[in-house]
Chain A
Amino acid sequence: MNAPRKVAIVGAAASPVGRWAPSDQDDDALFELDVLGPLVIAALAEAGLDRSAVDTAAFVTPSPSTRQLGFSTYMAARLGLRCNGSVSEVSALGVSGGLAFDQALADVALGRSETALALGISYQTNAPLPVVMEHSLRAVGDVDFQSPFGLTPISWYAFDAARYMHETGITREQIAQIAVKSRRHAMANELAQFRKELTLEEVLAQRMIVSPLGLFEVPSVADGAICLVLASEEAARASGKPYVTVEGRGYHHEGYHQIGGKPHDMTAFPAARQAARAALDTAGVSLGDIDLAELYAPCTITEVLVSEAIGFCAKGQGALDAAAGVTSLGGRIPINTSGGCLSRGHPPALTGLYGLLELREQLLGRCGARQVEGARLAMHCCESGNYNAALIHVLEGPK
């Protein structure tokens, strides 16, 4: 086996995040292939490649409302791929997008693949809400000892928020600044689901969803489709086209599912801290070198807690830093310049890929009004459960 090679992101294409899944009754519907196929072709074209180059297709497992099963091998066939690396579906709740990227990354790094796709399509808005809820309850809890209590995915973050407020004295109003900041960022992102300016008063005026979090402090349902193209840095350099490289990677699962069976600080997110340390170590950089970050954060509180866990903000300071502009565009460490889950939008299994896309666009200097000036090193983090697991990649822009 050869030594691992450095890997680059050489192409990408994505649909805007939003509510656009077709209903089964629509006889003009675009099915999964019809949305994802053109994105794959566009992403490869950006890299100056065609389908014959692809050795790996790492699909995010599609949502339960997807009719076609055997999705990865079916889709590889319909896309006209012939692969020597691997064709797979990967999923592990919110880490799924990051894991698909990781699979593509590993295949290229290990020389199994010259060109690898990390891709997926997720229809969330075409399923009846009770069906989605019943399914999600079973995903985010022990089906016998937790799911019967009716804890929806975001209700676990609501526990975090309630506990954090109790321990720190930080208020809901202060935490809600994350929603305002996210919207300000998303206003300049053409892929974002919500782009109309939002005030703190509007955020606080919404109906409660899972106390202490209201409608604008939690994500909306959303559909998405995205394809990233990875190749060896050597091939990327030879192409003469702009690219970003993957410099570091870290992962940790803390051994809990939502909450563990023993008392512990559920707001500490140790998986994020540990994965970040591993990613920085493999990249050979320190946290202070990171210019911007995309952090998987379905709710306002989640961004506060992961910012603190990784160390971008001091313990108890995450919300205050957001209010002070520290984590906004122009601040010390801009976080979620895409608008994040709250405003860019949150097709959960694909959120990781959308976050990686944002960092790639930032590092290539293509973000216009939301560009982080001089962005060179960026960190991406996605998670599952109550940040029980975290997967972190460090990306670097053109030298």
Chain B
Amino acid sequence: MTLPIININADLPSVPRSGHFTRQFWQALGEGRFLLQQCTACTALRFPPGSICTECSGSETLWIEAGGRGTLYALTTVHAGPPALMRDGPYTRAIVDLNEGVRLIAEWLGDPQARFDTPVELVVTRYANGCLFGARSIAA
């Protein structure tokens, strides 16, 4: 499933590095796909991607594509952040639990007062110099 891509006419102050175990993630994200690693030894899903399984220390993995849907766990709005991120005022961030059982941080696109434990979808936030990911509410 391809994620919606939101174009943002600005630079990310800090661009994530792309390395041997993460470049596939960032490449796929730029194409609207959110990849998770799955350990071939114990089948645990892993995020962020990396060289070893946190559950079993296994090193062999498959990439699987997440469905892009999940649940909002918590939100906060940062009113005192680094100047480069405060350009457009306070910003809101989310903790999202994907339906696959993975927890992550995402930009929040939408109402900062949104109710927790409600359904969300992932989106790609495409900046001039790189991509991050965000989330927004969807109908139940």
Contacts and interface: CB of A to CB of B under 8 A. Distances in A.
B107 A149 contact: yes
B110 interface: no
Given A149-B105, A261-B48, A162 B75 contact: yes
Contact of B77 (A207, A211, A260): A211
B15 interface: yes
A155 B85 CA distance: 14
A377 to B, nearest CB: 36
A359 B97 CA distance: 40
B5 interface: no
A136 to B, nearest CB: 9
Given A159-B95, A262-B102, A148 B76 contact: no
Contacts of A264: 103
Interface string A124-135: 000000100110
Interface in B83-102: 83-85, 90-91, 93, 95, 97, 101-102
A255 B54 CA distance: 9
A130 to B, nearest CB: 5
A134 to B, nearest CB: 6
B77 A210 contact: yes
Given A158-B76, A263-B73, A211 B97 contact: no
Contact of B76 (A130, A146, A159, A266): A159
B82 A130 contact: yes
Would you call the interface of chain B mostly helix, strand, loop, or mixed? Answer: loop
B34 to A, nearest CB: 12
Interface stretch (A137-145, A195-203, A339-347): A137-145
B16 A166 contact: no
A161 B106 CA distance: 18
Contacts of B17: 143-144
A143 B50 CA distance: 13
Interface string B10-41: 00111111000010000000000000000000
B74 interface: yes
A207 B81 CA distance: 14
A214 to B, nearest CB: 9
A261 B47 contact: yes
Contacts of B116: 162-163, 166
A209 interface: yes
A261 B75 CA distance: 17
Please indicate which of the listed interface residues B81, B91, B95, B105 has the most CB atoms of chain A within 10 Å of its own CB.
B105
Nearest to A159: B74
Contacts of A207: 79
A152 interface: yes
A176 to B, nearest CB: 16
Given A133-B81, A209-B80, A211-B112, A150 B91 contact: yes
A147 interface: yes
Contacts of B8: none
A259 B48 contact: no
A151 interface: yes
Given A163-B73, A209-B80, A262 B103 contact: yes
Given A149-B93, A261-B104, 15 more contacts: A133-B82, A137-B14, A143-B16, A145-B104, A148-B14, A149-B105, A150-B82, A155-B76, A208-B90, A210-B79, A211-B112, A212-B76, A259-B105, A261-B103, A263-B101
9 contacts: A130-B84, A144-B16, A144-B22, A148-B13, A149-B106, A150-B13, A150-B93, A162-B74, A209-B80
8 closest A-B pairs by beta carbon, nearest first, are A158-B76, A144-B16, A145-B48, A150-B85, A211-B77, A163-B74, A263-B97, A159-B74
